[in-house]
């Protein structure tokens, strides 16, 4: 049985103790075991990272950038093997796994510009013989806690800016698909990163609690469910840590009467069902404006959904693969039954799907509901599976209200040819990331990623300049060099 160990001080670390099973979602069987850490291991790893961090921080930013450039090159060179490893534990198809890695790689590319990103402001002559400037310094030991659905992208979103800014970093990946995180840390070492700067700690709630409470861990970036994100944020903030905690989502696609419906349907197929719907930026709700739009859209959605191919992760013709676990499959099936019980119309039922030769795999065919209402629990909750719900709206204002009133505020998209409608939508909708004819509006790496309401807790977003601000603290210096002696002054200084 393959064993997945921790990674500390530049090498694999095996410890006897609790183990977790890592499944192959395509077959429904255990393929590896992962060691689960404890509070003592957190102490040991934090101490090691704390000892290694000052020398890394003292290295000038250009030299740190050279390591990140080499890290980028090595990720690109190992793209195929990384994608296959990722797909084998998560279940997403290999092409989608490459996209997962690529979106993380783009953040590595962004922080290759760290010498420029760390530059502070300078004011000469702010007062007589007085200059003022600010500098951005690393925090020390930082940590990232990441979910199962993006085993490469989200760890890189956190690790790349944390490390480039001069911090040491402890990554706690999901215990469901942990191998890619270890491989990324190994590649970072190969790129020239000093030992102790990029560490991987496997575990469950025990190690999460220990990281949140550890005095040497100065900042934590977290992605997971909203309830846990809120709890982690509150505990970390009360302990004086810098925290950013991203939660769940229920993203809407608003379809205006003038939209190109063929293009909408093509976009929705990937946005709703790609990666089996296991994306925080998936589009599980489609909201056509007007009954005529709804009926036309429905008639186009049904054959498009029926044509989707569900297959194993290595099938190059599959549109998506299995969900991550048997428990998650059962949860999704429970929500499908709940939708029926709540009175929504089950147009296409994805339950009961079986793939020959992989009957024990965690496969679900796509599901479509129509006539879903905002009062339904299946609408309010994040299902996180290949389930698309249609909620009909009678006007643009009603559609904006749907997205704005939902407790999640991660992403939303509008499909229209009307610039005025799109502009009004952007101005009024209470959601953090907005797409105009873009079904999955994940910002590029030099902007930032973050939702509103129960989708995000904390003031700074993921990646972009917000990540540089999150992983550094600003020190502002007011200096005077003068040959003229100053007189005594008991008033507050003014310039």
Residue 290: Cβ within 10 Å count: 17
Q: What is the largest CA-CA distance in the chain?
A: 89
| 245 counts as catalytic | no
The half-sphere exposure of 406 on its side-chain side, counting CA atoms within 13 A, is 32
The phi-psi region of residue 437 (left if phi > 0; otherwise alpha if psi is between -120 and 50; otherwise beta) is: left
Residue 302: Cβ within 10 Å count: 15
Q: Which of 139, 271, 272, 280 is catalytic?
A: 280
**Nearest in space to 207 (alpha carbons), one of 34, 398, 367:** 34
Strand 285-288, strand 387-390: pairing: parallel
DSSP output for 427-491: HH---SEEEES-SS-PPPTTS-B--EETTEESSS-BSHHHHHHHTEEEEEEEEE--SSPPPP--S
Q: What is the three-class DSSP state of 139?
A: coil
- CA–CA distances in Å: residue 364 to residues 148, 274, 286, 344, 359: 18, 12, 20, 19, 11
The answer for residues whose C-beta is within 8 angstroms of residue 446's C-beta and 6 or more apart is 110, 464, 465
**Nearest in space to 276 (alpha carbons), one of 411, 193, 366, 215:** 366
- CA–CA distances in Å: residue 463 to residues 96, 231, 450: 21, 22, 9
**Measured distance CA(449)–CA(166) in Å, rounded:** 22
DSSP output for 271-329: HHHGGGG--TT---EEEEBSHHHHHHHHHHHHHHHHT--B--TT-TT-SB---S-HHHH
**Beta bridge mates, 172:** 145
H helix or E strand, kind and range, residue 107? helix 94-111
**Nearest in space to 170 (alpha carbons), one of 204, 149, 140:** 140
Give the active site residues: 280
């Amino acid at each position: 049985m393959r064993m997945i160990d921790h990674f500390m001080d530049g090498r694999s670390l095996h410890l006897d103790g609790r183990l977790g099973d890592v499944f192959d979602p395509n077959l429904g069987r255990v393929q590896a075991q992962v060691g689960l850490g404890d509070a003592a291991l957190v102490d040991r790893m934090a101490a090691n990272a704390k000892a290694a961090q000052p020398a890394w921080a003292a290295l000038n930013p250009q030299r740190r950038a050279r390591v990140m450039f080499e890290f980028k090159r090595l990720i690109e060179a190992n793209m195929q093997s990384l994608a296959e490893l990722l797909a084998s534990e998560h279940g997403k198809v290999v092409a989608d796994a490459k996209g997962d890695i690529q979106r993380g790689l783009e953040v590595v590319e962004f922080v290759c510009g760290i010498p420029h990103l760390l530059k502070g402001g300078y004011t000469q002559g702010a007062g007589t013989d007085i200059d003022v400037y600010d500098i951005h310094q690393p925090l020390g030991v930082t940590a990232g806690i990441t979910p199962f659905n993006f085993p490469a992208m989200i760890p890189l979103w956190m690790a790349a800016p944390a490390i480039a800014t001069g911090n040491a970093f402890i990554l706690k990946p999901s215990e469901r698909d942990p191998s890619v995180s270890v491989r990324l840390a190994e590649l970072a070492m190969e790129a020239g990163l000093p030992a102790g700067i990029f560490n991987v700690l496997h575990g469950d709630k025990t190690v999460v609690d220990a990281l949140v409470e550890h005095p040497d861990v100065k900042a934590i970036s977290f992605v997971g469910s909203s309830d846990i994100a809120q709890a982690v944020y509150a505990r970390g903030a009360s302990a004086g840590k810098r925290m950013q905690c991203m939660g769940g989502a229920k993203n809407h696609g608003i379809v205006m009467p003038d939209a190109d419906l063929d293009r909408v349907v093509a976009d929705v197929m990937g946005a709703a069902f790609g990666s089996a719907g296991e994306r925080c930026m998936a589009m599980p709700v489609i909201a056509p404006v007007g009954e005529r739009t709804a009926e036309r859209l429905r008639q186009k959605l049904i054959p498009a959904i029926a044509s989707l191919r569900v297959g194993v992760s290595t099938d190059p013709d599959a549109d998506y693969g299995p969900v991550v676990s048997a428990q998650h499959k059962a949860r999704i099936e429970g929500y499908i039954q709940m939708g029926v019980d709540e009175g929504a119309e089950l147009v296409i039922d994805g339950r009961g799907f079986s793939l020959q030769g992989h009957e024990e795999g965690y496969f679900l065919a796509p599901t479509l509901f129509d006539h879903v209402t905002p009062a339904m629990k299946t609408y309010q909750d994040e299902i996180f599976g290949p389930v698309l719900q249609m909620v009909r709206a009678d006007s643009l204002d009603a559609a904006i209200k749907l997205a704005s009133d939902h407790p999640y505020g991660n992403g939303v998209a509008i499909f229209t040819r009307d610039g005025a409608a799109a502009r009004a939508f952007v101005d009024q909708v209470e959601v953090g990331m907005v797409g105009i004819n873009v079904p999955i509006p994940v910002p590029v790496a030099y902007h930032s990623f973050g939702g509103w309401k129960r989708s995000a807790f904390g003031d700074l977003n993921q990646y972009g300049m917000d990540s540089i601000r999150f992983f550094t603290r600003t020190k502002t210096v007011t200096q005077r060099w003068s040959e003229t002696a100053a007189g005594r002054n008991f008033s507050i200084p003014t310039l």
